[in-house]
Amino acid sequence: MFSSVLVVCTANICRSPVAEVILRNTLPGVKVDSAGIDASTGQSVDPTAADYARSNGLSLEGHKAKKFTATIGHQYDLILVMEPFHLEKISHIAPEVRGKTMYLGHWLGKKEIPDPYGKSKESVEFVYELIKKACQSWVEKIIE
């Protein structure tokens, strides 16, 4: 059982905040947060991500981006990343946490979760539905 989960993407303004709120709402008692490999600390969530969350009964209100650091990585039992670049960067920043770092899409066949930033509405919806499915698959494994 994991008591804490960190979700990581690039800027911590699109993918990881959405996954964070989905996991937090479905894993009571589990500490869930998010961070970005290249985040601008304090940046607000992308409006498209906020719209998606709102239309799915979720709130990203008050989310502020934070940058992934080794110190942050040590605070979590499980770190979930979106793509190979994130895994590579985490392995460089904090190699000692590599063993607890996996893809968010692992249970979907290690599927990469592409970055929706600046893409069409259809692309954005596809990515967020993929995030939702990936989160559901992790919830099933974590609760088991």
Question: Active-site residue numbers?
Answer: 9, 15, 115
Can you list the pairs that 60-64 forms with residues at least 24 positions away whose Cβ atoms lie under 8 Å?
A: 60/17, 60/18, 60/21, 63/17, 63/20
In angstroms, rounded to a whole number, what is the distance separating the alpha carbons of residues 112 and 81?
A: 9
Q: In Å, what is the CA distance from 78 to each residue of 33, 68, 136?
A: 11, 14, 15
How many CB atoms lie under 10 A from the CB of residue 14? Answer: 29
The two tokens of residue 12 are 């911590």
